[in-house]
Chain A
């Protein structure tokens, strides 16, 4: 599949989202790509329930609510979304446009790319077990995509948060054997999930091992067993076909570093005139960029996106004149 648009925005955090609005006012269409399955970036992934106090006009707004409002505000401009995919490679085409391919092979073509990649792609946190790389997709999975995959299989889950608890409960009915390994004896996460896990453990439907960590993996080409280290009992080996460590997500700069852009301290250098990078046609806004005096604030990213689309317009239509109008004058004329 090939997606064509005017501005391809990498990152559907608040800054990428608002840029869609400002681009729309100039009749430029946008498409967003994000490795997360939902829009909102850090706001949705790290602090959806926390109040933000420095969005002009909102004395207080929950991060999750701000994302909903932004989605509502950009709706007239019908942005496209490629979610759950990571922007992987960028190539310059003969006609001057860019071709961006995702890790799942989705191709996007646009004359302008705006990186609004924040702190980087949110990716699952991998526990520091020396040879874990060897078993990725050979028994070790960091995300459960399809629970049916574990039907009648032996699974060891590690972690103490909601996703570890919820999947343990769900897989209890699907897998042939589920073991949950957790570092502490108490759990965070929703109380009813914690109670449910305790019940399943008492009923012998799952096996709960607390005050323990998975410290080793063994197998020949594919995972055959894990080594579990208990605080008091010491190490034990447990045969298993799957090991699913669920320790949340963390941002990682990722492929952005490989696109020939000037980078300092994990951020893309830009010209504050228009937030352009060293590659003509590629811009960077929000937390991902850096310049003298940079502050990582949502408010600043909104401003950056607003100036950026003006320059993007000139890059796409060098001969067209752009007249500046207030929204109060022209209203919001969305796309069909």
Chain B
């Protein structure tokens, strides 16, 4: 089994260093949930809600955004055009080693 190390900064600014398996078909939203970080993931990972909105804080060349993801970010708040992604659209792969993401705020 292969593992990557990811740092997730929660909404209070606390850093969580987590290990994520690359061979379990997981995405970043699921990793957050498995570590009980406050991410809803309402739609289960179909880019149909925006509850897994994160800011990518490290220089990792991530996959291009799909149209669905762009569309969903249109309904999100606190969007940063350069940093915002939906965690569920980031599959856990070997090149994510050292990734740093921050959970975006939720609207009330």
Contact = CB atoms under 8 A, between A and B. Distances in A.
Nearest to B48: A46
A128 B108 contact: yes
B14 interface: no
Secondary structure call for the A interface: loop
Contacts of A251: 42
B46 A250 contact: no
B35 interface: no
B75 interface: yes
A125 interface: yes
A160 B77 CA distance: 12
A163 to B, nearest CB: 10
Given A119-B42, A126-B108, A127-B107, A247 B49 contact: no
A160 B74 contact: yes
Chain B interface size band reads 10 to 19
Interface in B43-64: 43, 46, 48-49, 51
A231 B79 CA distance: 12
B74 A161 contact: yes
Given A125-B107, A126-B107, A126-B108, A183 B74 contact: yes
A247 B42 contact: no
A238 interface: no
A196 to B, nearest CB: 18
Contacts of B78: 128
Contacts of A161: 71, 74-75
A250 B43 CA distance: 11
A237 interface: no
A159 B74 contact: yes
Interface residues of A, number: 20
Nearest to A46: B48
B105 interface: yes
A184 B74 CA distance: 8
A125 B46 CA distance: 19
Secondary structure call for the B interface: loop
Nearest to B76: A247
B104 to A, nearest CB: 11
A46 B68 CA distance: 13
A184 B108 CA distance: 23
A46 B81 CA distance: 24
A26 to B, nearest CB: 33
A159 B72 CA distance: 11
B97 interface: no
Contacts of A231: 81
Interface string A69-107: 000000000000000000000000000000000000000
Contacts of B67: 188
A314 interface: no
Contacts of B105: 128
Contact of B71 (A119, A127, A128, A188): A188
16 contacts: A46-B42, A46-B43, A47-B46, A119-B42, A126-B108, A128-B108, A159-B74, A159-B75, A160-B71, A161-B71, A161-B75, A183-B74, A184-B70, A188-B70, A188-B71, A250-B49
